[in-house]
């Protein structure tokens, strides 16, 4: 086995062991994110807050961080919306929100990190590591072996499947 093949195998092996934790995070959070438009894995929590009185619908939406908040009914000083009730005279508000349990929320926030997040570099490192795994896998077996040739067929099938999924 050539020196380059041996080095790639070693780097592939130890980087794989090193990334076991973060790969688990991305596997779990990625699977959970598939269901993000449903209530699967989410828990409902009730909140009681005192906000400023006489908030507009727009300001109420911002204060509560509820996307698409719409006032459904007005009963005196009470503004009723799907998630709860706001008393425009006293500012007392009771509402419910659905969210992920604490651990899942942490995993998902890491998965969706942007450059505004202090750990965005981890996503870049992980993406680069996955790209290395793709490339280094071709050094796992000698090119003249049956395993390598079969591996090329599986790689081609995977590329074709990916293209079909992307463009259909």
Same-domain pairing of 50 and 84: yes
Same-domain pairing of 49 and 30: no
Q: Please choose, from the candidates 158, 155, 159, the residue with its C-alpha nearest in 3D space to the C-alpha of residue 138.
A: 155
Structure tokens at 57: 């619908």
The structure tokens 């507009």 sit at: 56
Ordered strands of the 43-50 beta sheet: 43-50, 92-99, 84-87, 78-81, 71-75
Number of domains composing the chain: 2
Same-domain pairing of 13 and 93: no
> Does residue 122 fall inside a structural domain?
yes
Crossing angle of helices 3-18/20-34, nearest 10°? 60
**CB under 8 Å to 146, separation ≥6 — which residues?**
none
Same-domain pairing of 135 and 94: no
Beta strands in the chain (DSSP E): 43-50, 71-75, 78-81, 84-87, 92-99
pLDDT (tens, 9 = 90+) of the chain, 168 residues, equals 678 889 999 999 999 999 999 999 999 999 999 999 999 999 999 999 999 999 988 999 999 999 889 999 999 999 999 999 999 999 999 999 999 999 999 999 999 999 999 999 999 999 999 999 999 999 888 889 999 999 999 999 999 999 999 999
Q: What is the pTM of this model?
A: 0.74
Same-domain pairing of 85 and 109: no
Same-domain pairing of 30 and 70: no
Same-domain pairing of 49 and 95: yes
Same-domain pairing of 114 and 81: no
> Does residue 150 fall inside a structural domain?
no
> Which residues form the domain of 24?
3-37+102-140
> Does residue 152 fall inside a structural domain?
no
Same-domain pairing of 47 and 125: no
Q: Which residues pair with 87 in a beta bridge?
A: 78
Same-domain pairing of 82 and 128: no
What is the widest separation between alpha-carbon atoms in the chain? 82
Same-domain pairing of 88 and 112: no
Q: Collect contacts of 138-146 with beta carbons under 8 A, ≥24 apart.
A: 139/4, 139/5, 139/8, 139/9, 139/12, 140/8, 140/9, 140/12, 142/1, 142/5
Using one digit for the tens of pLDDT, what is the confidence trace for 117-147? 999 999 999 999 999 999 999 988 888 999 9
> Does residue 168 fall inside a structural domain?
no
């Amino acid at each position: 086995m050539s020196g380059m093949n041996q080095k790639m195998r070693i780097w592939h092996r130890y980087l794989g062991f090193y990334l076991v934790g973060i790969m688990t995070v991305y596997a779990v959070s990625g699977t959970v994110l598939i269901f993000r438009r449903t209530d699967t894995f989410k828990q409902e929590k009730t909140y009681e807050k005192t906000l400023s009185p006489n908030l507009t619908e727009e300001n109420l939406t911002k204060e509560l961080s509820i996307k698409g908040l719409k006032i459904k009914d007005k009963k005196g000083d009470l503004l009723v919306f799907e998630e709860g009730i706001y008393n425009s005279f006293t500012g007392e508000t009771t509402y419910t929100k659905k969210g992920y349990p604490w651990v899942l929320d942490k995993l998902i926030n890491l998965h969706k990190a942007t450059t505004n997040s202090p750990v965005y570099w981890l996503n870049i490192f992980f993406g680069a590591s996955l790209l290395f795994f793709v490339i280094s896998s071709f050094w796992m077996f000698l090119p003249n072996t049956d395993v390598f040739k079969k591996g090329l067929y599986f790689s081609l099938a995977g590329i074709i499947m990916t293209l079909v999924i992307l463009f259909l």
